[in-house]
């Protein structure tokens, strides 16, 4: 079904096997009243994600100048360190590097207050995001990604398609100036030809899409880049005649005139079918009949597809399988579907149902967890879902309803709009910088713990209170896969303070350390046992 024209979207990055062991700094340990032991924190891949669903497929039409992206599996790398704050206490600070669990993110720039591209690349690298989509081929942006290791998809805006459809030499010039000139230093892995062209109001543009795609690909082929740079285009749900239940989804007859040659061409060059999916737009259009929990991946009764017998507990999977069903009906059952945009607005007009910070955080957080599973959909269980989250930043100049300006995970100043497991460009406090490695971001523990009331046992005078806090974090959020006991300290006398600067600080009194020195070997042994158990059970 059709929906208002809009722009941009984003998504999340990679995984690191195993953990890192870093002892406290020798110069700091030497200053303690007695020798101190090292601390260990390890990391393993997150595994679970809540889910939910709702019955419709809806996508948004976007301005050609906006698009963004995110990567697959997350990275949780933790460091443990120690620093003396005073003569009476030792502070152990743990910073967890930012992580994102999706495939990529969309980096749109319809704003007048965004950080420079170089700072954006720093943010993306710190968050371990490895795949990014932009909505043009701005040279300053492409140059900023030079040597970053981030895979970039550049775009040809819709307004250029008619020209490149007619003039093959113009397409060649564009490829030379905007792709070849930056290879191999900038890893440009794809070119998106327009965005949501089909199903719009410009028939001439729809007619020009296939020719533009073909001419750009031919230019790449003549430059011997066709095996290095992918050619694709992203579609909205406007190309579908119906989308519910998923198995009944088909392409509109009037769209098949344009889609048939594009699908044949994409199949021949092994290019996936990109679709922009927005459960937010579906819910906003019909909040009375669509279960919000279904749209936000939360527990719900779900939707049953009578034709296939499949059950859907979230709208995201249903939208993807609707796309697969349409491709199968069109004769392309083996074509891969990738999500070029998906996201949720954190603010909107009064008539825009569901556009809240809480819902945006819930959707993107649960989306990340769902993608971390690296699994397919009910209809295509072996086809791993890859998605670009929309969007990296809020964009204050985007036209349309207010919600269009608030899809960003980050604000224009680089701070987070809401937490789904990582922080922004700006350090939140001096204390959080003490042990942060350069370029690392810490997990927003405050938001994570506060959300589930994990702080309830923080100061409980029990031997297991600290371990229980972090066990809750593991069970509920996959933030830590195991947290080994702190240095020589009596657990019952070691309160944990979770503060708003996204740093967990444990205060250990020196006097208590001296009294309980005999506990050290037992504490360390227990820590390693817990680590081994968690590694093989979580």
Burial of 474 (0-12, 13-18, 19+ CB in 10 A): middle
Residue 6 contacts residue 63 (beta carbons within 8 Å): yes
DSSP 8-state secondary structure symbol assigned to residue 353: T
Q: What is the DSSP letter of 180?
A: G
Chain centroid, CA 245 distance in Å: 27
| Rounded distance between C-alpha atoms, residue 358 and residue 19, angstroms | 32
CA 128 to chain CA mean position, Å: 10
Q: Are 238 and 41 in contact (CB under 8 A)?
A: no
CB atoms within 10 A of CB 83: 15
Contact status, residue 244 vs residue 55, Cβ threshold 8 Å:
yes
HSE-up of residue 467 (Cα within 13 Å, Cβ side) = 15
Is cis: bond before 184, omega within 30 of 0?
Answer: yes
Sheet of strand 78-84, all strands in order from the earlier edge strand to the far edge: 78-84, 89-96, 503-509, 496-499
Report CA dihedral (113, 119, 120, 125) to the nearest 10 degrees.
Answer: -160
> Smallest Cα–Cα separation from 286: which of 251, 337, 243?
243
Residue pair 444/416 in contact by the 8 Å Cβ criterion: yes
474 neighbors 480 (Cβ within 8 angstroms): yes
Angle between helices 203-222 and 253-268 (to 10 degrees): 0
> Which residues are tagged catalytic?
196, 341
DSSP state of 483: E
Q: How far from chain centre, in Å, is Cα 191?
A: 21
């Amino acid at each position: 079904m059709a929906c208002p024209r809009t722009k941009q979207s984003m998504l999340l990055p990679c995984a690191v096997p195993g953990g890192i062991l870093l002892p406290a700094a020798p110069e700091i340990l030497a200053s303690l009243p007695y020798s101190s032991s090292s601390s260990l924190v390890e990391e393993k891949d997150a595994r679970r994600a809540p889910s939910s669903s709702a019955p419709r497929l809806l996508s948004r039409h976007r301005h050609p100048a906006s698009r963004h992206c995110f990567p697959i599996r997350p990275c949780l790398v933790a460091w443990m360190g120690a620093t003396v704050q005073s003569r009476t206490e030792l502070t152990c600070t743990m910073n967890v590097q930012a992580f994102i669990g999706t495939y990529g993110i969309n980096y749109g720039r319809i704003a007048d207050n965004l950080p420079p591209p170089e700072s954006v690349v720093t943010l993306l690298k710190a968050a371990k995001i490895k795949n990014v989509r932009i909505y043009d081929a701005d040279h300053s942006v492409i140059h900023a990604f030079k040597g970053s290791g981030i895979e970039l998809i550049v775009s040809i805006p819709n307004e250029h398609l008619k020209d490149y459809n007619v003039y093959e030499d113009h397409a060649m010039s564009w490829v030379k100036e905007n792709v070849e000139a930056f290879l191999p230093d900038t890893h440009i892995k794809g070119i998106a030809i327009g965005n949501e062209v089909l199903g719009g109001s410009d028939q001439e543009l729809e007619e020009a899409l296939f020719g533009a795609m073909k001419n750009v690909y031919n230019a790449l082929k003549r430059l011997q880049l066709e095996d290095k740079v992918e050619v694709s285009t992203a579609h909205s749900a406007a190309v579908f005649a119906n989308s519910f239940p998923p198995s009944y989804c088909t392409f509109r007859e009037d769209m098949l005139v344009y889609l048939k040659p594009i699908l044949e061409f994409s199949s021949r060059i092994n290019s996936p079918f990109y679709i922009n999916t927005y459960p937010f737009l579906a819910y906003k259009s019909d909040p009375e009949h669509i279960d919000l929990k279904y749209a936000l991946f939360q527990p719900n009764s779900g939707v049953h597809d009578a034709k296939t017998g499949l059950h859907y507990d979230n709208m995201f999977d249903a939208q993807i399988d609707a796309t697969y069903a349409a491709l199968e009906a069109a004769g392309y059952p083996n074509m891969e579907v990738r999500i070029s945009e998906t996201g949720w607005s954190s603010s909107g007009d009064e008539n825009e149902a569901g556009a809240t910070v809480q819902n945006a955080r819930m959707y993107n957080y649960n989306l990340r967890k769902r993608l971390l599973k690296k699994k397919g959909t009910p209809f295509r269980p072996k086809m791993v879902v890859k998605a670009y989250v929309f969007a990296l930043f809020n964009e204050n100049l985007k036209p349309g309803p207010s919600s269009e300006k608030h899809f960003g995970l980050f604000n224009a100043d680089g701070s987070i709009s809401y937490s789904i497991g990582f922080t922004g460009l700006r350090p939140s406090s001096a204390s959080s910088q003490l042990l942060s490695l350069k370029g690392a971001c810490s997990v927003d523990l405050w938001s994570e713990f506060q959300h589930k009331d994990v702080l309830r046992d923080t100061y409980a005078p029990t031997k297991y209170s600290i371990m229980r806090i972090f066990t809750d974090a593991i069970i509920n959020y996959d933030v830590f896969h195991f947290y080994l006991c702190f240095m020589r300290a009596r657990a019952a006398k070691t309160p944990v303070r979770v503060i708003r600067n996204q740093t967990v600080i444990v205060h250990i009194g020196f006097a208590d350390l001296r009294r309980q020195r005999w506990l050290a070997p037992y504490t360390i042994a227990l820590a390693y046992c817990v680590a081994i158990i968690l590694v093989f059970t979580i």
